Structure 1
């Protein structure tokens, strides 16, 4: 059965590797491992296996033209974030975006962040 890549949600480990891919552009497994191993004690083969699983799930694309395979995210960071947020809103907030926003904005939100949010809301209001 083929996986619908619009439904596949990355695991925490997969999302960590996707963040590296979005930041670096298409790197080799060795380059990805170097970034991961700077903060986590993870073996090269573990990183490779996760990337292979991600390839099977269509989360990444793989360029096999050279000896060292190069991986790239199959979807943009924005697309993946939107998909994860829609899933979170549906599962945790009963489909209510406003409940998510109200929960996200709490006492730890800085004055600068509140100002940024206010500007975003104002610009969205002008568009409609």
Structure 2
């Protein structure tokens, strides 16, 4: 299957759909308008493009179309992080992690989760 590459605006829409499970254009637009100034028709057009690209599926049984994500959050994150590691960090996962931890100080709970992941990775070797 061809890897789908959502744009930044498409990712914002996907975030809403991942959270809600399914939504109309109006519902998505209402969430987006809380933190972004864009028109309803812009959201509609983006979601139509996303449907054509295969990023979302649409149920058009009723007058109001209901959209659902057609890509998982996990797969999308994995694809985008992989691309970022390759393009920005020369393929170095270490460089990415060092940059992330240096830029954003994790709290104790996050540090514990990171440590547990590192321990699990060491055990798997």
> What TM-score, normalized to structure 2?
0.90
List runs of 5+ in structure 2 lacking aligned partners: none
Inter-partner Cα distance in structure 1 for 2:103 and 2:57: 41
| 1:124 alignment partner, one of 117, 121, 124 | 121
List runs of 5+ in structure 1 lacking aligned partners: none
CA RMSD across the alignment: 1.6
Inter-partner Cα distance in structure 2 for 1:19 and 1:31: 13
Are the structure 2 counterparts of residues 124 and 48 from structure 1 closer, same or farther at C-alpha, using a change threshold of 3 Å?
A: same
> What TM-score, normalized to structure 1?
0.88
Inter-partner Cα distance in structure 1 for 2:105 and 2:118: 16
Count of equivalent residues: 124
SS in 2 for 1:62: strand
After the TM superposition, list the runs of 4 or more consecutive aligned residues in structure 1 that deviate by more than 6 angstroms.
none
